[in-house]
């Protein structure tokens, strides 16, 4: 995958990851100790190192996977619906990273070309259904609602979103759409989770543009 990233970009990213790794190990070493000045300093250093990773442009899809894995942390392995969606998104990115360097669909995901085409068609249809119901909801009550209540429109949107989460994202723009749905309530914040959202989405949009430019026939 031809990415417009220099050796300097990769070196800066690797440096931030190294600092985060060191700070995280230091925090684990003192996390169980009683509150003290040293423990507080280590905790602040770990948080600052994590913030620097998020603020640094991820040079590859693998970098985005790393950011998401750090942000979701141990919750990534919880037995909850949201955690399962998070794991699906990590799986999407892992597959797309393999495909970006020339791995075949079958090798990357185990799907035959026919199965991949069927998934793509279902993705496009479901995305269109979601967009239509979202448009109806934003328009407000009208004859186009055909007598339905607002909660019925919302339920239809939720159903479509659930199907999209389960389907393989066809490209990075599909991953972006999943994250928009997943982080719908946080993406306009500028602190905490919202700031992380902005930084990760910035990475994904940039990488998607670069991939589209290098392999336009696959987008």
Can you give the residue range of the structural domain that contains 35?
A: 7-111+168-218
Check whether residue 197 and residue 103 sit in a common domain: yes
Cα–Cα distance, 169 to 108 (Å, whole number): 13
φ/ψ of residue 63, rounded to 5: -65, -40
Could you tell me if 101 and 200 lie in one domain? yes
Q: 3-state DSSP call for residue 1?
A: coil
122 and 17 together in one domain: no
Q: Residue 2 domain-assigned?
A: no
Model confidence, pTM: 0.86
* Tokens (6 digits) for 28: 């684990």
Closest CA to 154 of 133, 185, 179, 126: 133
- Cα–Cα distance measured from residue 212 to residue 202, given in angstroms and rounded to the nearest whole number: 15
pLDDT of residue 76: 92
Do 196 and 163 lie in a common domain?
no
Both 101 and 122 in one domain: the answer is no
Compute the distance between CA of residue 202 and CA of residue 27 in angstroms, rounded to an integer. 29
Average pLDDT rounded to a whole number, residues 109-120: 94
Round to whole Å and give the CA distance between 55 and 67.
10
Both 62 and 153 in one domain: the answer is no
pLDDT at 2 over 80: no
Q: How confident is the model at residue 105 (pLDDT cuts 50, 70, 90)?
A: confident
Sequence-separated (6 or more) residues with CB below 8 Å from residue 118: none
Distance CA 180, CA 132 (A): 16
């Amino acid at each position: 995958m031809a990415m417009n990233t220099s050796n300097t970009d990769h070196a800066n990213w690797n440096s931030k990851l190294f600092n985060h790794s060191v700070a995280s190990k230091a925090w684990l070493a003192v996390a169980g100790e009683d509150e003290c000045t040293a423990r507080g300093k280590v905790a602040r250093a770990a948080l600052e190192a994590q913030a620097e990773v998020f603020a640094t442009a991820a040079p590859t899809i693998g970098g985005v996977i790393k950011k998401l894995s750090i942000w979701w942390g141990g919750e990534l392995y919880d037995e909850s619906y949201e955690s399962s969606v998070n794991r699906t998104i990590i799986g999407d990115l892992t597959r797309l990273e393999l495909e970006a360097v020339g791995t075949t669909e079958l090798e990357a995901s185990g799907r035959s070309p026919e199965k991949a085409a069927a998934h793509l068609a279902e993705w496009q249809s479901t995305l269109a259904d979601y967009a239509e119901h979202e448009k109806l909801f934003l328009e407000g009550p009208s004859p186009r609602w055909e007598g339905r209540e607002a909660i019925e429109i919302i339920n239809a949107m939720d159903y479509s979103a659930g199907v999209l989460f389960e389907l393989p994202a066809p490209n990075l723009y599909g991953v972006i759409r999943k994250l928009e749905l997943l982080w719908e309530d946080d993406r306009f914040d500028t602190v905490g989770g919202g700031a992380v959202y902005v930084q990760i989405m910035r990475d994904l949009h940039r990488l998607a543009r670069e991939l589209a430019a290098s392999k336009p026939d696959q987008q």
